[in-house]
Structure 1
Amino acid sequence: MQSSASELSAHQETVNKPKTTKRLSILLELTRFIRPYKGTVIAAVIALIFTASVMLAVGQGVRLLIDEGFAQQSYEQLRQAIFFIFGVTILIATGTFFRFYLVSWLGERVSADIRLAVFNHVITLHPSYFEANGSGDIMSRITTDTTLLQSIIGSSFSMAMRSALMFVGALVMLFATNIKLTLIVMASVPFVLLPLLIYGRKVKALSRKSQDSMADVGSYAGEAIEHIKTVQSYTREPEERRSFSNEVEKAFLIGKNRIQQRAILIAGVIIIVFSAITGMLWVGGSDVISGQMTGGDLGAFVFYAILVGTSLATISEVFGQLQQAAGATERLVEILQVQPHITPPTNTAVSASTLTAEVAFDNVTFHYPSRPNQAATKALSLKAEQGKVLALVGPSGAGKTTLFELLLRFYDPQSGTITLGGVDIRQIDPDDLRQQMALVPQQPALFSHDVYHNIRYGNPRATDEEVIEAAKKAHAHEFIMKLPDGYKSFLGAKGVRLSGGQRQRIAIARAILKDPKILLLDEATSALDSESEHHVQQALQTLMQGRTTLIIAHRLSTIQHADKIAVLDQGKLIDSGSHSSLIASSELYQRLVELQFKQLQ
């Protein structure tokens, strides 16, 4: 699978510059999330049509009130008109209840489904995607954008449909009541559409900028809070306050501009609509005085004209919200359209559980997508024999961690092959492949949960007894029992309540519980004190028994017991052999050992 540096660069540009859609048609992407609830949609539409139809009947009640009640000076006619209007009001309230409940439920349900779909998709994406897209921006899309869509689906769509129905129905009633006055009202419609078209586009662009700026604010705050100890130890609080203030102010200015454009849009529509109604009242009032129409007809006409005006004003307001929703939908669809680069084989996959635990890198060359002109590995060939320990040593940037990431298929090499039991790992389903391995990194990832959850992450089906047994093998049981709630103790974000050695032993217990064929240890003891290292080394000895083990290590205590040591530098294999043979043959290895001795003195 060959790929040039220019192709990698082009791919990175694709990741960084996702496709954008400038039209409201992007909202049609939401239909696939709404479709499963078509029964609810139909019920909501029926309630909506019912409510709009009954609302139009109020105009006839106004006509009866004026012509039969006031004009005839009849208490009986007045009473009937009042009861008619009251009955219609009850029906409107009933219809509104069902419409509001059904549409709001739909908004909640669909936004939850979208949030779930985006998260489920995000966790399948290749690591290079996260090199180009910050976690804060992704979280903003999953939370803020879906919350906005919840409001749009649960409220704005309903308002738009109701207003559209009211507009059409009221317009029909206007023509039925007085054609001449209706033509006066209709003359204002083109003037209403003009600001919708002009300012609508501006609102759409500003909505996207506003959402992006809020994502930046969230990312900045999250990063500062995550590294709060570094911020405080360097007394950088004033600078962080100023920088965050700049981010917030930038977001505020964009939001203010967006609000200003929407306000202009709404105000312009209201002025145009009610100017037309004022003109209509002058002409209609003249016709009542001259006897060409009754006061009841004029009252009904005014009611329907106000319905037309308010419906148009509502539509113009909702139009701005839909522009904002289009920006949110666009950002969510961008994520959903990203295709994972690491996919299962198209043909029948080879079962990893049937293969031997022998790992081989054959002439592997790899460039990270974010560094297309710099090779992380160059034509590297290396083998880890089944049941043996292979140690990887070399200076920083030699490509040691890269080999782990390639073996786990977080990335695929541009050339060469990586095999498990003689089979190219691209012929194995990535989930099946990773199930055979356990990674214990230098900085273990612990979750904001209890000890049980963190160890059981290696095997979700494990019993409490199996978790405790794994902790004992990892030399972690003793300190766990001293925690306030033992195995049910909450560890805090990233295991902040534990020391480095304790976090490392929790990670080892997790790996023991997974019971993998292949063990990947990434400098598992480099940051520990002597006592912690002693406990971790004992736990590692238990963990490595009978397993193929690849170790990235700097400490001699970890290197010396290895069956084979591979010396890497700048992505190339410099030499390999035992500790004693490398001392005699490899200058780079000699230098690394000398540095170790100096550090120990």
Structure 2
Amino acid sequence: MIRRVGGYIKNEDSALLRGGELHLDALHLPCYASDPAASVRDCFPTSMAVAPFSKNPSQMTDAEIAQLKMPYARILEYLKPWMGRFILGVFIGIVAAAFNGVLIVGVSLIFQLVLDGGAKTLGTPVQLPVFGEVNLAQVLGMANDTPVGLGGVIIACACIPVLMFLNGFLEYLNKYCLAWVGTKMLFHIRSDVFRSVLRQSPAFFSHTKAGELMQTVFNQSRVAQSNAVQLVQLITNRPLTIVTILFVLFSQDWFFTLMSLVIFPLCLAPIIAIGRKVRKSGSREEKEVGTMMTTMHESFTGIRLVKGYAREEYEVKRFDKANAEMCRNMLRWTRAMELIGPIVESVASIGIAAGLVYFWVQERSASELIVLVMALTKIYPPAKELSKVNLLMQKTVYAVNKVVHLLEREADIKDLPGAPELPRIKGGVTFENVSFAYSKIDGSKLDKAAVTNVSMELSPGKFYALVGPSGAGKSTLFSLLLRFYDPDSGRVLMDGTDIRTVTQDSVRGNIGLVSQDTFLFHDTIRENIRYGRLNATEEEIIAAAKKAHAHDFIQAQQGGYNAIVGDSGCNLSGGQKQRLSIARAILRNAPILLLDEATSALDTETEKIIQEAIHVLSEGKTVIAIAHRLSTIMQADQIIVMRDGGVADIGSHDELLKKSELYQKLYSLQFHE
């Protein structure tokens, strides 16, 4: 239960806030500022206020995995748009199951007309399951003495493939309709899971393995879809198939049918035992696939480090460990699934053997026995498949819960309901008593804050620099300005607007970023530049490249602007990648420009080129730069010196050399010689 006490939200039940209080004044929420009597739900979305914490299935123990339940309501949301096709598929499955009875009756009739000497005339009575004794001549409206003849036999025998085709075609339509629905669901589930992952804050990605995310988005969603479709087919079609065939069999010879099935329960004991032994193998297999994906992703993205340290064999061993465990679980799973078949078939053969003895004693015709045995053999495939439902369900439940966990995970940073767009600003930035501490993997805050009570006002169109030792909080201020995180207390404002009251996209739309760690997509040079503004024309892209001093080297590439940069830009040098990053920022043309160590890893000649490009990029913008090389920021309008998460001094280069001991120390370390 969440209740309000004074200026606090107290939560007595929810795991989200249990044992803690959330101070409304510190959040500076518009609803609370304008109306102190506002309720909690006026300030927070319902899901944000009361959403329970859902544990990631990949972090569960085997005992916890065994207790997982199928979230039917969540899956039903994706089924609703295709409910008509789904119902049609289920209905066709029911018709296909019932048609098995028609098939048995038809085959019984044909066998009696053809085998054991056959019927000479249509008036000869035949004994059919369910219908009893039937006179075909009367049914067809013909004379009793009408001969069957060779033509009649050929027509009757030709009906067998027709009946088999109809039976198979109905099965095909059933599977196709359900697979069509499943494929549509898979598309939307994958899309929503991917969207849910992308809306998470950087804090989520810092605690989550990329390989496991890829495994969930691609493989777990596929497992959930394919297994769910298979389960629907099994549950809706197979039981009715068995009931239909048994009804026909009991109507023809109840004693034979009973004797054939009386020992069927004997196979249940080993099936149950096998199910208990390997029911966790499916979920373990999926967990190990996630580990393998993580190892591959890290090895491929860090291939230069792997090779530089000659760690190929070490990475192979990491991969093989997960690979071997996954293969063992796959083998257990396969052994369990395939062992069930021979057990059920052995039981069926005992029933057939007993039936042969029974027919010998009763001196009955072979045609009757053939029909009964054929009907019995049609029972066992669906019975065998139904026996796998429990094992299949275990794997499906784990996959579905893994997918749903990501679908329902609330983002740490969310827009307020109905938050407006921030229009293009002039470039003013204000940090107002901002404090922030990063979170641990369990969600609790670190004891030491990254920034504490930071206050500063940056005017539009000026150049500001952040300097200080590592860990001083410089990059954290960038992250707060980009709203990757929200401050624990205080506010960050753009042109006087609290960035938490407007949409995240509109905040970031007013910011351009050039970082030391330039990332390029495995795409053409053109598309990597266009990423700054997706609707940019070819002329604008080329103009941005020229301003970034990138046009000449682009033209020298084979393919020019169509050249592929390679994975993370591996086909380009560091300086070339940086110039493309600057071209991207120029194309974005945002009023605020963040430079994060943009030239620290470059040689002197390349640094000069980059500095010229940055000078062009910075014209008319509010520039905030993080730099360890003081030579790159000595001309800044204001230099902010940071230490231990706070602002130590602010001033120009000359002013700081006179009054700031820390700045003097940093300057002396770089320029003393």
Per the normalisation by structure 1, the TM-score is: 0.90
| Alignment match, 2:469 | 395
1:383 and 2:457 equivalent? yes
Cα distance, 1:194 vs. partner? 5.3
Contact 1:406/1:412 (CA < 8 Å) preserved in 2?
Answer: yes
Cα distance, 1:404 vs. partner? 0.8
Contact 2:425/2:591 (CA < 8 Å) preserved in 1?
Answer: no
Q: How does 1:470-509 map to 2 (within 5 A)?
A: 470-509=544-583
Q: How does 1:77-92 map to 2 (within 5 A)?
A: 78-79=153-154, 81-92=156-167
Alignment equivalent of 1:313, drawn from 384, 387, 396: 384
| Alignment match, 1:345 | 416
The 3 A distance-change label for structure 1 pair 111 and 349 is closer
Alignment equivalent of 1:422, drawn from 496, 502, 510: 496
Q: How many residues align?
A: 592
Alignment equivalent of 2:79, drawn from 34, 46, 55: 34
Alignment equivalent of 2:438, drawn from 365, 368, 376: 368
Alignment equivalent of 2:646, drawn from 545, 548, 572: 572
Amino acid at match of 1:259: T
Cα distance, 1:463 vs. partner? 0.6
Distance 1:517 1:174 in 2: 81
Contact 1:64/1:296 (CA < 8 Å) preserved in 2?
Answer: no
The 3 A distance-change label for structure 1 pair 128 and 202 is farther
Distance 1:12 1:385 in 2: 42
Worse-matched range after superposition: 552-561 or 249-258: 249-258
Q: Report SS of the residue matched to 2:457.
A: strand
Amino acid at match of 1:53: A
Contact 2:424/2:510 (CA < 8 Å) preserved in 1?
Answer: no
Contact 1:54/1:88 (CA < 8 Å) preserved in 2?
Answer: no
Cα distance, 1:56 vs. partner? 2.7
Contact 2:639/2:650 (CA < 8 Å) preserved in 1?
Answer: yes
| Alignment match, 2:182 | 107
| Alignment match, 2:193 | 118
1:358 and 2:403 equivalent? no
Distance 2:640 2:556 in 1: 40
Q: How does 1:520-599 map to 2 (within 5 A)?
A: 520-597=594-671
Q: Report SS of the residue matched to 1:391.
A: strand
Cα distance, 1:184 vs. partner? 4.2
1:478-526 CA distance string (max 9 Å, x none): 1111111111111111111111111111111111111111111111011
Q: Report SS of the residue matched to 1:372.
A: coil
Worse-matched range after superposition: 427-436 or 113-122: 113-122
Cα distance, 1:185 vs. partner? 5.3
| Alignment match, 2:407 | 336
Distance 1:198 1:379 in 2: 63
Distance 1:553 1:12 in 2: 40
1:13-47 CA distance string (max 9 Å, x none): 96795896845633664332233223332343343
| Alignment match, 2:42 | none
| Alignment match, 1:240 | 315
The 3 A distance-change label for structure 1 pair 351 and 52 is closer
Alignment equivalent of 1:219, drawn from 275, 283, 294: 294
1:122-165 CA distance string (max 9 Å, x none): 11111111122111101011222233345435656435533233
Amino acid at match of 1:584: K
Larger Rg: 2
Distance 1:372 1:136 in 2: 26
Q: Which runs of 5+ in 2 are unaligned?
A: 1-7, 10-15, 22-51, 121-147
Cα distance, 1:269 vs. partner? 4.1
Distance 2:582 2:20 in 1: 39
Distance 1:510 1:40 in 2: 46
Contact 1:160/1:314 (CA < 8 Å) preserved in 2?
Answer: no
Choose between structure 1 and 2: higher helix proportion. Answer: 1
Worse-matched range after superposition: 426-435 or 75-84: 75-84
Distance 1:444 1:582 in 2: 31
| Alignment match, 2:362 | 290
Amino acid at match of 2:378: L
Cα distance, 1:216 vs. partner? 0.5
Contact 1:103/1:153 (CA < 8 Å) preserved in 2?
Answer: no
Contact 1:20/1:330 (CA < 8 Å) preserved in 2?
Answer: no
Amino acid at match of 1:88: L
- If asked which structure has higher relative contact order (CA below 8 Å, sep 6+), I would say 1
Distance 2:17 2:392 in 1: 45
The 3 A distance-change label for structure 1 pair 376 and 305 is same
Contact 1:127/1:410 (CA < 8 Å) preserved in 2?
Answer: yes
Per the normalisation by structure 2, the TM-score is: 0.81
Distance 2:54 2:648 in 1: 34
| Alignment match, 1:139 | 214
Contact 2:359/2:369 (CA < 8 Å) preserved in 1?
Answer: no
Amino acid at match of 1:454: N
Distance 1:52 1:5 in 2: 53
Contact 2:260/2:355 (CA < 8 Å) preserved in 1?
Answer: no
Cα distance, 1:240 vs. partner? 2.4
Amino acid at match of 1:57: V
Cα distance, 1:574 vs. partner? 1.4
Alignment equivalent of 2:205, drawn from 121, 125, 130: 130
Quote the sequence identity (%). 32
Contact 1:406/1:413 (CA < 8 Å) preserved in 2?
Answer: yes
Amino acid at match of 1:117: D
Amino acid at match of 1:71: D
Cα distance, 1:477 vs. partner? 1.2
